Structure 1
Amino acid sequence: MTAGPEPLSAADRTALNRELSELRAERAKVAATLGDADEPGDRADQADELQRATDAERLDARIDEIEETLRDSPDARPSSTGAVGVGSAVTVRFDDGTESTVHIGELADADDPGLVTADSPLGRALLGRTAGEDVSYATPLGRSSVTVLSVGAPGGGS
């Protein structure tokens, strides 16, 4: 997309902040178990200690990555041209006539059934489109299409 950090929608920021909170809690639990033993134990104890240290390093790396993303990524805003962008709420009509409003985000979130990631087939097909356009995209079951009915800000405003 761009050379710099990708914009984050409010939903993406919320998901990252939730993950960061969970990682910090997990890191605190791991840290509490490091260096428990006063005496060096057997090889199994040493291996367990090494595994906890490795877990702490992995958690620290992910925490640093999320903090950097949150700090450096600009807020996503729907395009002022009315075109679909990261952060847009898009109402579409599918081939079968059903209509749905989805929002375009950078990060998958299992708690958000209306999220379409920008790198998914539908998300890629919608980026840059405007209301009234018919959009075709590939699915595991073959080609599908939608009509873009409206493009608005997150939360549904057009």
Structure 2
Amino acid sequence: MTGGPEPISAAGREELERELAGLRVEREAVAATLRDGGGDEVGDRADEADELQRGDDLDRLDTRITEIEGRLEEASVAGAPSTDAVGVGSSVTVRFEDGTESTLHIGELANALDATLVTADSPLGRALLGHRAGDTVTYDTPEGRTTAVVLSLG
């Protein structure tokens, strides 16, 4: 990635917004189970451990919520994906070494339901980032090193 604000695809934005909504609901449920802290309740160590665990869960949820909000804000600043060079959010058509061609989408989040999605941190995704139409990229696969030619960005 470029180190600056990175664009995000519409599908990637939807996925992050869906995750954010779920995290906010989960956070509200966890927060509701925490004690006020002002009571003189006497509990055993198990109660204290449960309370600490819920506090840790709340911290984890808050951290992820902040990360997603920051990423969505960054994507808003970045604007639309570039059509000059492959980046996060790009749609790119490539020809693989075996002659097959495929249009792929470069994203941040893996999605098992989208066979055309390539994450930016996968071997192919990393190889494609920053390249333009006509460039040949080399990347590692379980079968060994291979190449692909960037045909177009769209």
Unaligned runs of 5+ in 1: 153-158
Unaligned runs of 5+ in 2: none
User: How many pairs are equivalent?
Assistant: 150
Once the two structures are aligned, what percentage of the paired residues are identical?
Answer: 65
| 1:10-25 pair list within 5 angstroms | 10-25=10-25
Deviations 1:15-51 (A, max 9, x none): 2111111111111221221128973321111111111
CA contact (8 A) 1:8 1:86 kept: yes
TM-score (norm 1): 0.80
TM-score (norm 2): 0.81
Report SS of the residue matched to 2:105: strand
Aligned equivalent of 1:137, options 133, 136, 139: 139
Report SS of the residue matched to 2:148: strand
CA contact (8 A) 1:40 1:46 kept: no
| 1:2-151 pair list within 5 angstroms | 2-35=2-35, 39-73=41-75, 74-79=78-83, 81=84, 83-151=85-153
* Distance apart, 1:68 and its partner CA: 1.9
CA contact (8 A) 2:95 2:102 kept: yes
Query: Following the alignment from structure 1 to structure 2, what is the Cα–Cα distance between the partners of residues 95 and 106?
Result: 25
After alignment, is 10-19 or 27-36 more displaced?
27-36
Q: Report the equivalent of 1:155.
A: none
Report SS of the residue matched to 1:25: helix
